[in-house]
Amino acid sequence: MEKIIISVFSIGFILGLICRLIPSRIKYIKEIIGGFASVFYLFFSISLFKTSSYYITEIFLIDQFSIFISIFISIFTLLTLIYSFSYFENFENSNRYYCYILWTLTCSVVAVFSNNLILFSVFWGMLAITLYLLLNISGDENAYPAKKSMIIVGGSDSFLIFGICGLIYLTGKYTITDMKIFIASGLEIGIFFALICASLAKAGCMPLHTWIPEISENTPSPILAYLPASLDKLLGIYLFSRILLNMFEYQIDLHSGLWFILRLIGSITILCAVLMAIVQHNMKKLLSYHAVSQVGYMVLGISTNLPSGIIGGLFHMLNNAIYKSLLFFGAGNVENKTKIVELEKLGGIGRFMPITFFTFLIGSLSISGVPPFNGFFSKYLIYQALFQGAKDGNFEWLVWIICAMIGSALTLASFLKIVHSVFLGHLKEYKEKISEVNFSMLLPVIILSLLCIIFGFGFIYPVKIFENSIGIFIEKGYSFLIPTLTLIFVSLIFGFIVFSIFMINIKKARVVSSFVGGEKRLEEMELSGVEFYKTIEKERFFEKMYQGARKKIFDLYEDFKRIIFYFGEGIRATHTGVLPTYLTWILFGCIVLFILFMKF
């Protein structure tokens, strides 16, 4: 069995290498190879899932949880390749692109299926390399963001290695399934947070999130949809959940402080990232901050250590990957036709791109937690856990609830802004005539929008899979959802009836030009979706915060860079090129060594 699995994993690397060797000017072959590889891995994962062929050895951990994650890794890869067929039709580096995508797919699947910690760390580290290669593929303008991403994600891998070495030192074992460490000393706490650091850096959680907004401006939309939106969230939260549920043992009396820190990180991520998102004028940068904010819900839910919170956090991981990919693909459609990503310069294209508009609207409602879409049900489970934790009147849990609710409200406000600015309002002037994109760029957004609906109405199916895969079940079942679902169903029927009546009567209505205050509405009278939100930046408290954010004061990468450069300048000042100065330093060093030798 192991030989079969190794052969399956080798296919992705071999096919990726073949794509790299094919010249970019030769079309369709690379696309066919990429599609074949993703479909192959998808069917391989589905066959394991359907036959319940779980295989756990010292090397591989193929259980229901890892299989379910690998299925969606393959799905997102396939949808990205379909989307890229038109998006990168004349891309000069297409051979490198398809090669790196297939290597990323293979490394992701192997990492998810790894039980051996050494094997896991190798392929986890290789993902940082493929991330750098994919980000650097779009040109020199993305060189610095790619380097920053490599340093943050790759640097966090050093914490992963430290944590793995610590686990092996404590247990003498090398497999994830053999780990169940009781945290009782400083070393164990250090190992715990080292592993957490690696998982949260990959997922893009604060304060290790800054690489995601940094790459968003110049990185092509398919890469944004594939990595920070979907795969990195699945992999980062997969490791996070393995750490909390499999590797370490939790006791409420002894470890509540550690889990409190995780909930604090999740809440800060929700609130701060959405506050940064709401003032962005770049469409892709706004979406990237929301990709960070949603990680906070996952971390907050899983770290409640309550069944509904854990299941809700895992379900939100999957939902987020679905609707964030949908939103980045939708943004790519708009950028592809308008060549613009600044919200002030967009507007009125909804009537010319109806499918993109409708699917983007579904993704916006999903991420905002509006029923009956998938984002509502995963957030509802997380809220259920938070309210359960607050039953004893613990003020801490009330703070988490308030942060989560504010985050949901501001998320909805952000997407009202982007939908209004891009798709509604007056039609702006564009260099080319606006029309809908090609079918290969529409098919992924249609599929993903359908998944938002299916996992909304049929939320019980993925929830059951997560319950069975990790062995944690929601105690009260789903009876507490019946009143909510009934209200949603009745509201939808009522809304459909009202809409039907309106559409019937609209034919009889008198059509006149719109006016404001009795005057015919002019273009300069139009309310800008961007200007309205600028008032937030001018509030006294937020003004200071946003000024600090623009100066990158809260960016750990930039902070460490400033410190290193400061000391570097001091050391450089000592290298004057004057011989007597160097002789003085040599003499000083000899004196120090002499004193040390005399003492010891």
* Per-residue pLDDT tens digits for 92-113: 888 889 999 999 999 999 999 9
pLDDT at 2: 72
The structure's pTM equals 0.89
**Domain contains 318:** yes
The H or E element spanning position 152 is helix 143-171
Mean pLDDT of 290-310: 91
Which of residues 421, 444, 461 is at a domain's end? 461
pLDDT at 527: 61
pLDDT at 9: 81
The H or E element spanning position 301 is helix 283-302
**Domain contains 575:** yes
Give the domain extent around 303.
Answer: 252-461
Per-residue pLDDT tens digits for 249-285: 877 777 778 889 999 999 999 998 998 888 888 899 9
Considering the domain architecture, whether residues 456 and 573 belong to the same structural domain is answered as no
Tokens representing residue 404 in the block: 């989560």
**Number of domains observed in the structure of the chain:** 2
Considering the domain architecture, whether residues 448 and 567 belong to the same structural domain is answered as no
Q: What is the mean pLDDT of the chain?
A: 85
Mean pLDDT of 5-29: 86
Considering the domain architecture, whether residues 590 and 453 belong to the same structural domain is answered as no
Considering the domain architecture, whether residues 457 and 560 belong to the same structural domain is answered as no
Please say if the pLDDT value at position 569 is more than 80: no
**Domain contains 356:** yes
Neighbours of 69 (CB within 10 A): 26
CA distance to 5, 101, 374, per residue, from 358 (Å) = 41, 28, 16
**Domain contains 574:** yes
**Domain contains 155:** no
Check: CB of residue 153 under 8 Å from CB of residue 201: yes
Cis check: omega of the bond before 372, within 30 degrees of 0: yes
Question: How many Å separate Cα 353 from the centre of its chain?
Answer: 26
Mean pLDDT of 444-465: 91
**Domain contains 258:** yes
**Domain contains 372:** yes
Q: What confidence tier does 325 reach under pLDDT thresholds 50, 70, 90?
A: very high
Tokens representing residue 11 in the block: 């296919």
Check: CB of residue 427 under 8 Å from CB of residue 345: no
Considering the domain architecture, whether residues 430 and 576 belong to the same structural domain is answered as no
Question: Percent of the chain at pLDDT above 90?
Answer: 32
Which of residues 461, 485, 504 is at a domain's end? 461
Tokens representing residue 387 in the block: 């309210």
**Domain contains 241:** no
Rounded Cα distance between 552 and 213, Å, is 12
Considering the domain architecture, whether residues 266 and 404 belong to the same structural domain is answered as yes
Which of residues 431, 461, 491 is at a domain's end? 461
Interacting residues of 351 by C-beta distance below 8 A, sequence separation 6+? none
Nearest C-alpha neighbor of 228 from the set 270, 281, 267, 285: 285
pLDDT at 53: 66
Per-residue pLDDT tens digits for 502-554: 767 666 666 666 666 666 666 655 666 666 667 777 777 777 777 777 777 77
